[in-house]
Amino acid sequence: MGRLTGKTALVTGSSRGMGRATALRLAADGALVAVHYARGKEEAEDVVATIEKDGGRAFTVRAELGVPGDVHELFLGLEEGLRERTGSTALDILVNNAGVMGGVKPEETTPDRFDEIFAVNAKAPFFLIQRALKNLRDGGRIINISSGLTRFANPDEIAYAMAKGAVEQLALHFAKYLGPRRITINSVAPGITRNGSPVFDIPEAVEQMAAMSAFNRVGEPEDVADVVAFLASDDARWITGSFVDATGGTLLG
């Protein structure tokens, strides 16, 4: 029996990157995982197939976040998938992982781009949590993926870092609100972590990025997934409202 056996989990943006690694890890720990995606249908199906091959349970849920009706669409798929497999729509773990970076200079950030960055990175997690509270069982877990950029300056990512700063506020205030139900909520801030981006295929770029970590390497998706899995477990029942630095020491300066 895994430590999450009998639990259900939703991981947003789990078709790729850290979300994928988190879905695989939570499923390996025994949870039934809803693998959420927007455009990566095949990738999400591959995540489910990988989980099932290893004896776990998962299903896909599609919804573009940051657009009107996003939360409604996601929960239609989520509740249908949960009901089919468990006979109930109860959720134990919500991981708000889906996100988009800005990569745009301050003077080139248009109001539309700013709104888009906020809609996906900050607004969607708030309303996903608001909606999920109907499904979350007492003792549930909410984990929001922030970024080391809330404490490490990068002028091309001002709007993104502002949105992630807003995500960190979710943990502070919701923690107080959800405490009576023993639901914990925490922020995990990754540093530079390998994803499908082509920059990770350029050895010189990887070397430069690695030098920012105390361990002289870039993060692997599993480095972050393991932290999320800990916060999702019963072992983390006494931690709420916290900011967890998962940057591999990048913030040490």
Q: How far is the CB of 145 from ligand NDP (least distance, A)?
A: 4
Report the distance separating Cα 43 and Cα 74, nearest Å. Answer: 17
Q: How far is the CB of 177 from ligand NDP (least distance, A)?
A: 23
Burial class (CB in 10 A: 0-12, 13-18, 19+), 166: middle
Q: What is the dihedral of CA 200, 201, 202, 208, to 10 degrees?
A: 20
Report the distance separating Cα 15 and Cα 22, nearest Å. Answer: 10
For residues 125 and 140, which CB has a smaller minimum distance to ligand NDP in the complex?
125
Q: How far is the CB of 73 from ligand NDP (least distance, A)?
A: 10
For residues 5 and 211, which CB has a smaller minimum distance to ligand NDP in the complex?
211
For residues 145 and 171, which CB has a smaller minimum distance to ligand NDP in the complex?
145
For residues 192 and 231, which CB has a smaller minimum distance to ligand NDP in the complex?
192
Residues in contact with ligand NDP by CB under 6 A are 13-19, 37-40, 64-66, 97-101, 120, 145, 147, 190, 192-193, 195-196
Burial class (CB in 10 A: 0-12, 13-18, 19+), 228: buried
| Cβ atoms < 10 Å from Cβ of 3 | 14
Residues with active-site annotation: 160
Report the distance separating Cα 177 and Cα 24, nearest Å. Answer: 30
Q: How far is the CB of 124 from ligand NDP (least distance, A)?
A: 7
